[in-house]
């Protein structure tokens, strides 16, 4: 029974990585060095030798890899290698801010071998399923893992073995429990100590209590006991067939299986399955109607997409576009300026942010737009270029995006409203200025050549910030070629809702600075909702947010704004809420707005709701947490004092936050058993965030982990909640255990 091979024993690709090989690491034109890379025996860590005196062995964890990219797909490789080396190159992209590793191999075959092998090991680690097996099986496995048959297990053997049975445990906790069980201080566990180690590790008092209250058949759960648990506690329409399926999947004790019963271990296994998570599995795929007009959806949108960090001096990068698109962002922003050698560039004007070529950004967008979602991507152009380079921009858009670029209305006749996300699958829409109305496409008088238009609102504001006195509404000359690729998203200035209603076509959309949008949402909410029933609105952060911080998107969604653009590069509460809002519906970047934001007869006003028939009571019991990560890695002794906050974001009447007491020095299995109740007026717009913090009496609490999702995607009953980092990556082995009930108030 080998270490952590995740079911890949004897696999040639795994063997290739374990043997290791030479790779040319590429950092610049002058820095390209050969290094020997290999996978360690734990199958979870790569090491390589460095020439630095003090730092011979460098490592990185397979878990930290976000993806492996074949070819010259990173900025570094494009810059520092030749076109002819395309097939020999690959990059390793990490989660968070860790730098990309760029490699070149001796041959195409070798590059393919590295990419295939790395991808296989990454996916086998990700797919470790939660089938922790029952205790008899576990004891047998332990015997097998005891290679030299001395009936003793070292900590190293135990950790390997735990990975094998997929009991996820952090090294710190494994070591602490090992110490507790090693009563003979021999550095190994023998006989009963091994059994005790397993019991301590998997003991969940709260689950034992739940199990025993339903285990009515000789101390075990019969299939009927399980059905009664599923119906009463989990509020599921469960049948005996469902119970049999769960026993088949989760129970490892053969005798119990034959008697159609579930042991306590099987029950723990059931509670850790994917489908028993808080997030309703039916919402994991695209489940909403995708045939409604585009403006009936909330659209995941990013601001200053080219930035990796802040707006004053951060690097601009095609990588930032790839990261946003891989998070299913469906509207990205391009700030276009005249560049040298006739090549338009993208960067944050009048600042020290680095520049990136327009054509490189369009290529990256083309390559990554539809990897996570097949639904349309909107390119929001903020155009500061002179006519010559605008023409070049139009040429690149057409030549690079090809047929995927929408250059005329679908169906070949004058449209009266938007096509649907379904009709626009795999398509790009350009948002920008247009010289005339769409009708001219269907008449013979389309003679307009380049001419002056007023500048995009956000572009004008960008100038205002860099000049002391406010200029008059600035104008730019617009190239006909660039104007012609704007079909469904023509930018116009917003005067008032009345003006828009009588003068604007459905495809003419406005952008609002956050402060303006918030003011309108507070003073004219119903008018704003009606405006968004047939038009699109885009909201962007105010220019004063030089640190690229974010505003709260919820008030904008409450009035039906579709394109609420946030700085995706900034990990923040607002981004957690955005991630939560778009988690359901296959994480495709489109969420259908509630009926009352789409139906013309609706007089809904988010600021004045009370006693709606849809009103709900949300009962939350925070029971326990498991294996919370240590915050302070430097202080070996520091243990967290965790508390949990339950926050609701929605219409003003629903916004609320309640928190548990903190628990001293326990990150392994803190128990709260605290109950909260929330009255929710508009569940269709409410988002819940669970936040775990490390209590600190002297300063602000430290962030430990969070999870966020719409209230309508929450499952009732006893549920596990995974925990994510500030950047939204999963924290392995950590979680919350809660009991939830979302009930009709009436």
Determine which one of 303, 576, 720, 739 is catalytic. 303
Model confidence pLDDT, tens digit, residues 475-484:
889 999 999 9
Q: Any idea which residue has 């470790």 for tokens?
A: 128
Cβ contact 720:737 at 8 Å: yes
Q: Is the pLDDT of residue 637 over 60?
A: no
User: What's the CA gap between 290 and 725, in Å, rounded?
Assistant: 31
What confidence category does residue 131 fall into, taking pLDDT thresholds of 50, 70 and 90? Answer: very low
The CATH code of domain 135-276 reads 1.10.238.10
User: What's the CA gap between 286 and 15, in Å, rounded?
Assistant: 38
Least confident of 232-236, 249-253, 280-284, 619-623: 249-253
Cβ contact 349:310 at 8 Å: no
- Any binding-site annotation on 639? yes
Average pLDDT for the chain:
87
**Distances from the Cα of 366 to the Cα of 325, 403, 485, angstroms:** 10, 11, 16
What confidence category does residue 53 fall into, taking pLDDT thresholds of 50, 70 and 90? Answer: low
Q: What is the 3-state secondary structure (H, E, C) of 484-501?
A: HCCCCEEECCCCCHHHHH
pLDDT at 313: 66
Is 303 designated active site? yes
The SS3 assignment for 515 reads helix
Q: Is the pLDDT of residue 43 over 90?
A: no
Determine which one of 348, 384, 720, 739 is catalytic. 348
**681-708 per-residue burial string, b: 16 or more CB within 10 A, e: under 16:** bbbbbbbbbbbbbbeeeeeebeebbbbb
Model confidence pLDDT, tens digit, residues 396-421:
999 999 999 999 999 888 999 999 99
pLDDT at 312: 64
Q: Is the pLDDT of residue 729 over 70?
A: yes
User: What's the CA gap between 334 and 337, in Å, rounded?
Assistant: 10
For residue 263, give the nearest of 128, 164, 133 by alpha carbon: 133
Select the highest-mean-pLDDT range: 142-146, 382-386, 626-630: 382-386
Q: Is the pLDDT of residue 443 over 90?
A: no
The CATH superfamily holding the domain 294-434+450-597 is: Phosphatidylinositol (PI) phosphodiesterase (3.20.20.190)
Cβ contact 572:578 at 8 Å: no
Burial class (CB in 10 A: 0-12, 13-18, 19+), 141: middle
Model confidence pLDDT, tens digit, residues 290-329:
999 999 999 999 998 878 766 666 677 888 899 999 999 9
- Any binding-site annotation on 44? yes
% the chain with pLDDT above 70: 88
pLDDT at 372: 95
Where exactly are the structural domains of the chain? 12-126, 135-276, 294-434+450-597, 609-744
> Would you identify the CATH topology of the domain 609-744?
Immunoglobulin-like (2.60.40)
DSSP line for 542-554:
-TT-TT-----SH
What confidence category does residue 519 fall into, taking pLDDT thresholds of 50, 70 and 90? Answer: very high
- Any binding-site annotation on 49? yes
Please give the average per-residue pLDDT across 188-206, as a whole number: 78
pLDDT at 415: 93
- Any binding-site annotation on 545? no
> Would you identify the CATH topology of the domain 12-126?
PH-domain like (2.30.29)
- Any binding-site annotation on 27? yes
Is 348 designated active site? yes
pLDDT at 370: 97
Cβ contact 710:583 at 8 Å: yes
Least confident of 145-149, 564-568, 587-591: 145-149
The SS3 assignment for 49 reads strand
User: What's the CA gap between 476 and 19, in Å, rounded?
Assistant: 61
Model confidence pLDDT, tens digit, residues 676-698:
999 999 999 999 999 999 998 88
- Any binding-site annotation on 378? no
pLDDT at 63: 82
Question: What is the enclosing helix (H) or strand (E) of 231?
Answer: helix 223-232
Q: Is the pLDDT of residue 27 over 70?
A: yes
pLDDT at 204: 85
- Any binding-site annotation on 610? no
What confidence category does residue 471 fall into, taking pLDDT thresholds of 50, 70 and 90? Answer: very low
Please give the average per-residue pLDDT across 166-190, as a whole number: 77
The residue with greater pLDDT, 171 or 328, is 328
The residue with greater pLDDT, 205 or 289, is 289
Quick one: tokens of 529? Answer: 């909702």
Least confident of 359-368, 400-409, 581-590, 606-615: 606-615
- Any binding-site annotation on 539? no
Give the DSSP letter of residue 505: -
- Any binding-site annotation on 304? yes
Q: Is the pLDDT of residue 161 over 50?
A: yes
pTM: 0.83
What confidence category does residue 152 fall into, taking pLDDT thresholds of 50, 70 and 90? Answer: confident
User: What's the CA gap between 519 and 523, in Å, rounded?
Assistant: 6
Q: Is the pLDDT of residue 1 over 50?
A: no
CB contact set of 679 (below 8 Å; sequence gap of 6+): 615, 616, 617, 618, 654, 745
Quick one: tokens of 333? Answer: 């922003």
């Amino acid at each position: 029974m080998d270490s952590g091979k995740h079911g890949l024993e004897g696999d040639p690709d795994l063997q290739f990585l374990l043997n290791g090989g030479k790779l040319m690491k590429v950092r610049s034109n002058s820095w390209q060095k050969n290094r020997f890379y290999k996978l360690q025996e734990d199958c979870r860590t790569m090491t390589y030798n460095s020439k630095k005196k003090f730092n011979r062995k460098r490592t990185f964890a397979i878990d930290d890899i976000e993806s492996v990219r074949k070819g010259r797909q990173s900025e570094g490789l494009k810059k520092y290698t030749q076109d002819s080396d395309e097939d020999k190159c690959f990059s390793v992209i990490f989660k968070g801010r860790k730098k990309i590793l760029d490699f070149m191999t001796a041959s195409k075959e070798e590059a393919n071998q590295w990419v295939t092998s790395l991808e296989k090991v990454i996916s086998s680690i990700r797919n470790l399923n939660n089938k922790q097996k029952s205790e008899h099986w576990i004891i047998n496995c332990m015997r097998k893992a005891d290679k030299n048959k001395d009936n003793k297990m070292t900590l190293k053997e135990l950790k390997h073995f735990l990975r094998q049975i997929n009991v996820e445990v952090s090294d710190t906790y494994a070591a602490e429990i090992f110490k507790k069980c090693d009563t003979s201080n021999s550095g190994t566990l023998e006989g009963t100590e091994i059994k005790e180690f397993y019991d301590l590790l998997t003991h969940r008092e709260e689950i034992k209590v739940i199990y025993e209250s339903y285990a009515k058949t000789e101390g075990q759960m019969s299939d009927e006991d399980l059905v009664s648990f599923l119906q009463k506690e989990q509020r599921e329409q469960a049948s005996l067939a469902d119970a049999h399926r769960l026993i088949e999947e989760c129970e490892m004790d053969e005798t119990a299986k034959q008697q159609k019963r579930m042991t306590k271990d099987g029950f723990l296994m059931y509670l850790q399955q994917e489908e028993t998570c808080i997030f309703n599995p039916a919402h994991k795929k695209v489940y909403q109607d995708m045939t409604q007009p585009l403006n009936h959806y909330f659209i995941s949108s990013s601001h200053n997409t080219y930035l990796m960090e802040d707006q004053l001096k951060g690097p601009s990068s095609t990588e930032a576009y790839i990261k946003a698109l891989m998070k299913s962002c469906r509207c990205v922003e391009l700030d276009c300026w005249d560049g040298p050698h006739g090549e338009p560039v993208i960067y944050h004007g009048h600042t020290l942010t680095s520049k990136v070529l327009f054509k490189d950004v369009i290529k990256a967008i083309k390559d990554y737009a539809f990897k996570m979602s097949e639904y349309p991507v909107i390119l929001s152009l903020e155009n500061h270029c002179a006519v010559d380079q605008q023409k070049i921009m139009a040429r690149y858009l057409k030549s690079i995006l090809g047929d995927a670029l929408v250059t005329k209305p679908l169906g070949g006749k004058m449209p009266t409203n938007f096509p649907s996300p379904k009709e626009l699958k795999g398509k790009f829409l350009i948002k920008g200025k247009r010289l005339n109305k769409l009708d001219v496409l269907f008449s013979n008088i389309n003679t307009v050549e380049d001419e002056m238009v007023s500048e995009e609102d956000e572009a004008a504001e960008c100038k205002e910030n860099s000049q002391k006195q406010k200029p008059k509404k600035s104008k730019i000359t617009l190239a006909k070629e660039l104007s012609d690729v704007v079909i469904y998203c023509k930018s116009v200035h917003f005067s008032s809702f009345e003006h828009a209603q009588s003068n604007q076509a459905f495809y003419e959309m406005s952008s609002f600075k956050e402060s303006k949008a918030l003011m309108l949402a507070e003073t004219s909410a119903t008018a704003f909702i009606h405006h968004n029933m047939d038009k699109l609105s885009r909201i962007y952060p105010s220019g004063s947010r030089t640190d690229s911080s974010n505003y709260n998107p919820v008030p904008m969604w409450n009035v039906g704004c579709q394109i609420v653009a946030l700085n995706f590069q900034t990990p923040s509460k607002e981004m957690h809420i955005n991630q939560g809002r778009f988690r359901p519906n296959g994480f495709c970047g489109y969420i259908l707005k509630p009926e009352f934001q789409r139906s013309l007869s609706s007089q809904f006003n988010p600021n004045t709701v009370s006693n709606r028939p849809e009103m709900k009571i949300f009962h939350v019991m925070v029971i326990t947490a498991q294996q919370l990560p240590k915050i302070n890695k430097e202080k070996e002794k520091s243990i967290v004092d965790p508390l949990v906050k339950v926050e609701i974001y929605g219409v003003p009447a629903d916004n609320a936050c309640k928190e548990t007491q903190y628990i001293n020095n326990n990150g392994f299995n803190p128990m709260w058993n605290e109950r909260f109740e929330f009255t929710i007026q508009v569940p269709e717009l409410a988002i819940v965030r669970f936040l775990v913090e490390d209590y600190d009496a002297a300063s602000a609490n430290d962030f430990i982990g969070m999870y966020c999702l719409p209230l309508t995607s929450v499952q009732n009953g006893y549920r596990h909640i995974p925990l994510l980092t500030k950047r939204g990556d999963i924290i392995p082995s950590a979680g919350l255990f809660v009991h939830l009930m979302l009930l009709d108030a009436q």
